[in-house]
A and B are shown apart, each in its own frame.
Chain A
Amino acid sequence: MNTRLRTFIMHVEDLPGVLNRVTSLFRRRGYNIESLAVGRTEMPGVSRMTIVMEADDDAARRIEANLYKLVNVLRVEDTAWRPTVSRELALIKVRTDQGTRAQVLQLTEVFRARVIDVGPEAVIFEITGTRDKIDGLAEVLMPYGVVELVRTGAIAMVRSADTVEATPSVQQQPQTNAA
């Protein structure tokens, strides 16, 4: 039922061990994380996590409820129901020589990737974009020889002036079927 990749935005207290508590919960309940990005926010003492994982509606609600049981979690938002923008950053090192460099540069231009290092045998590109866009670039570069690829995992934000607040609100209650 409605299983898909979902993005959760979480605000947590910026304290030692909090990341461990969150990942330990995912491990213990058997949820598989696709990607996880953590960093500081505009609020002092608050970290923001963006977690992407596969889940149906029901599992998503339980994940949210379980996350709220962690004392250091301030706010959890399942962005499935809100217009969201999401970006990943990737660095890709591609093997190039005199013969292929021009071709590779042309291809990466289409994806608006930036060259950040050029060496005699390889070029490093930086690309930001959605997961699909980065997958796409990686795929076309593969035949030339991708030496290394690293990506950050997605960070996400709800569109327009809507915010995902760090203050805890009344937790979403489970929707039950009408009698």
Chain B
Amino acid sequence: MTARTGAQILWEALHREGVRVVFGYPGGAIMPAYDALLDSEIRHVLVRHEQGAAHMADGYARVSGNVGVAIATSGPGATNLVTGIATAMLDSVPLVCITGQVASRFIGSDAFQETDITGVTLPITKHNYLVTRAADIAKTIREAFYVARSGRPGPVLVDITKDAQQQSCVPEYSDQPVRMRGYRPDHQARHDDLKRAAELIDRAERPVILCGHGIVRADATTLLRALVVKTGMPVASTLLGLGGFPATHALSLGMMGMHGEAWVNQAIQEADLLVALGMRFDDRVTGKLETFATGAKKIHCELDPAEINKNVRVDVALVGDVRETIEALLPLVEARDHHAWIARISELKGDAAVRDIQQLPPGGRLFAAHVMHDLWRITEGKALVVTDVGQHQMWEAQYYKHDHPKKLVTSGGLGTMGFALPAAIGARFAAPSDEIWVIAGDGGFQMTACELSTIAQEGVKLNIAIINNGYLGMVRQWQQFFYNGRYSATPLKSPDFVKLAEAHGLFGLRVSTRDEVAPAVMRARAARGTVLIDFRVEQEDSVYPMVPAGAALNEMIRRPSSIVETAEDE
């Protein structure tokens, strides 16, 4: 083999890992790599801000199931990735982020655009590397991909000095499985524990399955269905677990937690068994821990041993890949049904449905829930929806019923505003033929709105719905509920989003009544290019129900019936 530069080796190593698209932004310390990019088959998407690159790689990874790749230069380029890396870390998304670094002889000298990015990202990556020799690039890239996707996935950062990119060496690529001295990410549930879990499931009278992100990431949806069909256990879902079990299935309860439906949370509180699958008992899901499902035995199927007994003490821990665990559990459990328990849950549901905003007559004021509901109806629940963070995110989770996995992409753990638009661009490259809807608030959208240029330059087709209420809505809602209605820094002035779309050569529409929703959605779907719809919704609407932070799951703030009546009067 002939000698190649480190930069050339980098692209070859990425290609060998199956990478066909990367998201990035050039700069001084990564210029050798960008020069070699011109001779690579890998497609590069030029972002407008490196945070966008990380979110695009993230969206790509969540939808494709592969590792997403972001690339940036040293210093500010690298630090701009940080929010995106932390987002991927908290949601266990496999990323490899490549950053340029100043030449090795300048490291530690505070050289121009030098940042200790491996130090900065230490607590928000699964692992990171500083590479100072061309000869280490191929091996490090291979290891980085292995670490990112194996076990509980996560982001890995590879910082490569400029001289390592410039040096030449004879590359050594390996097709052998990666062998590392430490790092053993695989675990298997013990047979005794599986048997004990099966006994608990067989004996339960009021069981609830909690479906988490792990079900989606491990492609365990078919097995979960088989488990539900056999055992008759109803399924509640975390935000990131939505789509892991079909929302329109009779045994699907819906989302649990802070903005979960009241009957779901009530059912969890009344349960005598919780079977948690690929979830980590986040505080947004459990409410006050001391009051969380106190009467229930708990089985926790989880890949990461460090999550066991972290927030909630469990009775049986099944540490391992959730798909393998369900597979092993299935033959051990008895076929059951739970008529009485399901009837009890239906009873709880009956009460809540009356308060549902979906029941409002058409033609009245435009509520965000209308938009979500109509969007779901028109797209027949089949769209790939990418949401931002805030009220609209919760409304989407409540009203857009996802029947399939990987059709909802959202920032759960970190709650990163500005995530949706770039993540959707990444998702587009993973699912070229899907109908994609970006749903964002007027606040979050403006955080990464610069990526509209990326959409225009790359010719990406997306449908964008801005749920525009003129406030940072979720914070406004908290101020209304918990800070005596003192609106501090939440009223928000936005640009004319229609003109903003037009300025980027995209098409924009404005919708302010319910009647206009369907035609606008149809127009966006039919258009060949990206269409942005500015939905002017009710300004001071709140997400109901709501479990206040630190309260028990069944202490919910319910939708006041007066709002419903006022709306009906019109």
Q: B319 and A69: CB pair below 8 A?
A: no
Q: Which of A143-179 contact B (CB under 8 A)?
A: 168, 170-171, 173-174, 176-179
The yes or no answer to A89 lying at the interface (CB within 8 A) is no
- Chain B residues with CB below 8 A from A34, complex form: none
Which residue from B182, B193, B196, B317 sits with its C-beta under 8 Å from A72? B182
Minimum CB–CB distance from B125 to chain A (whole Å) comes to 10
A172 CA to B310 CA, complexed, in Å: 16
Q: Which of B106-139 contact A (CB under 8 A)?
A: 118-119, 122-123, 126-127, 130
Q: Chain A: which residue is nearest B147 at the CB level? A: A71
- Chain A residues with CB below 8 A from B147, complex form: 71
Q: B306 and A69: CB pair below 8 A?
A: yes
- Chain A residues with CB below 8 A from B183, complex form: 71, 168
- Chain A residues with CB below 8 A from B193, complex form: 176
- The interface centre, meaning the residue of B304, B305, B308, B315 with most chain A CB atoms within 10 A of its CB, is B305
Q: B181 and A74: CB pair below 8 A?
A: yes
A20 CA to B123 CA, complexed, in Å: 11
Q: Which of A102-153 contact B (CB under 8 A)?
A: none
Q: B190 and A174: CB pair below 8 A?
A: no
Interface string of B143-165 (1 = CB under 8 A from A): 00001000000000000000000
Q: Chain B: which residue is nearest A17 at the CB level? A: B118
Minimum CB–CB distance from B487 to chain A (whole Å) comes to 34
Q: Which of A27-67 contact B (CB under 8 A)?
A: 28, 58, 61-62, 65-66
Q: A168 and B182: CB pair below 8 A?
A: yes
Q: B316 and A24: CB pair below 8 A?
A: no
- Chain B residues with CB below 8 A from A17, complex form: 118, 130
The yes or no answer to A73 lying at the interface (CB within 8 A) is yes
Q: A171 and B184: CB pair below 8 A?
A: yes
Which residue from A74, A173, A178 sits with its C-beta under 8 Å from B196? A178
Minimum CB–CB distance from A131 to chain B (whole Å) comes to 28
The yes or no answer to B343 lying at the interface (CB within 8 A) is no
The yes or no answer to A77 lying at the interface (CB within 8 A) is no
The yes or no answer to B314 lying at the interface (CB within 8 A) is yes
A158 CA to B128 CA, complexed, in Å: 33
Minimum CB–CB distance from B315 to chain A (whole Å) comes to 6
- Chain A residues with CB below 8 A from B319, complex form: 173-174
The yes or no answer to A13 lying at the interface (CB within 8 A) is yes
- The interface centre, meaning the residue of A24, A72, A171, A173 with most chain B CB atoms within 10 A of its CB, is A173
- Chain B residues with CB below 8 A from A28, complex form: 123
Interface string of B288-317 (1 = CB under 8 A from A): 000000000100000011101110001111
The yes or no answer to B250 lying at the interface (CB within 8 A) is no
Q: Which of A8-22 contact B (CB under 8 A)?
A: 12-13, 17, 20-21
The yes or no answer to B187 lying at the interface (CB within 8 A) is yes
**Given the contacts A58-B309, A176-B193, A74 and B182 also touching, CB distance less than 8 Å:** yes
Q: A24 and B306: CB pair below 8 A?
A: no
Which residue from A20, A65, A69, A179 sits with its C-beta under 8 Å from B122? A20
Which residue from A12, A65, A170 sits with its C-beta under 8 Å from B306? A65
**Interface size counted on chain B using CB atoms at 8 A:** 31
- Chain A residues with CB below 8 A from B180, complex form: 71
Which residue from A20, A58, A71, A173 sits with its C-beta under 8 Å from B305? A173
Minimum CB–CB distance from A152 to chain B (whole Å) comes to 26
**Given the contacts A173-B319, A176-B193, A177-B315, A66 and B306 also touching, CB distance less than 8 Å:** yes
A66 CA to B180 CA, complexed, in Å: 18
Q: A173 and B190: CB pair below 8 A?
A: yes
A173 CA to B199 CA, complexed, in Å: 20
Q: B317 and A168: CB pair below 8 A?
A: no
Q: B309 and A174: CB pair below 8 A?
A: yes
Q: B297 and A179: CB pair below 8 A?
A: yes
A178 CA to B192 CA, complexed, in Å: 10
Q: A65 and B182: CB pair below 8 A?
A: no
- Chain B residues with CB below 8 A from A66, complex form: 306
- Chain B residues with CB below 8 A from A13, complex form: 181-182
- Chain B residues with CB below 8 A from A170, complex form: 184
Q: Chain B: which residue is nearest A67 at the CB level? A: B306
The yes or no answer to B200 lying at the interface (CB within 8 A) is yes
Q: Chain B: which residue is nearest A66 at the CB level? A: B306
Which residue from B122, B200, B308, B314 sits with its C-beta under 8 Å from A21? B122
Q: B314 and A168: CB pair below 8 A?
A: no
Which residue from B122, B127, B297 sits with its C-beta under 8 Å from A24? B122
- Chain B residues with CB below 8 A from A72, complex form: 182
Q: Which of B183-234 contact A (CB under 8 A)?
A: 183-184, 187, 190, 193, 196, 199-200
A28 CA to B123 CA, complexed, in Å: 8
A177 CA to B200 CA, complexed, in Å: 12
- The interface centre, meaning the residue of A13, A66, A71, A177 with most chain B CB atoms within 10 A of its CB, is A71
- Chain A residues with CB below 8 A from B315, complex form: 176-177, 179
Q: A171 and B187: CB pair below 8 A?
A: yes
Minimum CB–CB distance from A12 to chain B (whole Å) comes to 8
29 A-B contacts, Cβ less than 8 Å apart?
A: A17-B118, A20-B122, A62-B306, A62-B308, A62-B310, A65-B304, A66-B306, A68-B305, A68-B306, A69-B304, A69-B306, A70-B127, A71-B127, A73-B182, A74-B181, A168-B181, A168-B183, A171-B184, A171-B187, A171-B305, A173-B317, A174-B319, A176-B193, A176-B315, A176-B316, A178-B196, A179-B196, A179-B200, A179-B297
Given contacts A65-B308, A70-B182, A73-B182, 11 further A-B contacts (CB under 8 A): A13-B182, A61-B309, A62-B306, A62-B308, A62-B309, A66-B306, A71-B127, A71-B147, A173-B317, A174-B309, A179-B199
The 5 closest A-B pairs by CB, nearest first: A65-B306, A65-B305, A174-B308, A71-B127, A74-B182
